[in-house]
Structure 1
Amino acid sequence: MTLNYVVQGIWSLSALGLVVLVLLHSPKGDGLGGLGGQAQLFTSTKSAETTLNRVTWILTVIFMTLTVVLSANWLPR
């Protein structure tokens, strides 16, 4: 196993994890309730949502960094 295959595996797992985490997010759109300002009454910050946002951002950075590394062929084959 070369380093290239290991990085590709991590890249694939981060892509899959990113898709799952994005699907787990709650919708942030107000819809028609945002017109009258009623959507602001029921919003609250939760630690689970904050943690989900942080993990999503971390996986995004990992995915984008590995995308650049793999596409630039910086790893030995």
Structure 2
Amino acid sequence: MKLIWYMSSLITVLLILISNPKSQGFGSIGNQSQLFSYTRSTQKNILILTIIAASVFVLLTIILTSNLLT
């Protein structure tokens, strides 16, 4: 159960970093390549995935701290 919790935390952090509105995606790291340019639908999908991953993380945090599944 903790493995899933660790994975959801990592996925949440990565999705938040990817969807940072102030950055230009991965293109700002090196060359300004158009490989990682985001459309509105892609941004919406990343936002939905971020919400789901954060919700799973919070839910697992509650379950693990309340010792429901030991």
Between Structure 1 and Structure 2, the one with more helix by share is 1
Cα distance between partner residues in 1 of 2:13 and 2:54: 10
For structure 1, the 5+ residue unaligned runs are 1-6, 29-44
- Which residue number in structure 2 is paired with residue 69 of structure 1? 63
Separation in structure 2 between the aligned mates of residue 16 and residue 26 of structure 1, nearest angstrom = 16
Deviating 4+ runs (over 3 angstroms): none
Instruction: After TM superposition, give the deviation of residue 26 of structure 1 in Å.
Output: 3.2
1:27 corresponds in structure 2 to 21
What is the letter of the counterpart of residue 9 of structure 1? L
* Residue-pair matches, total: 54
CA distance in 1, matches of 2:20, 2:55: 21
Gaps in structure 2 of 5+ consecutive residues: 23-38
**Percent identical:** 35
1:16 aligns with 2:10: yes
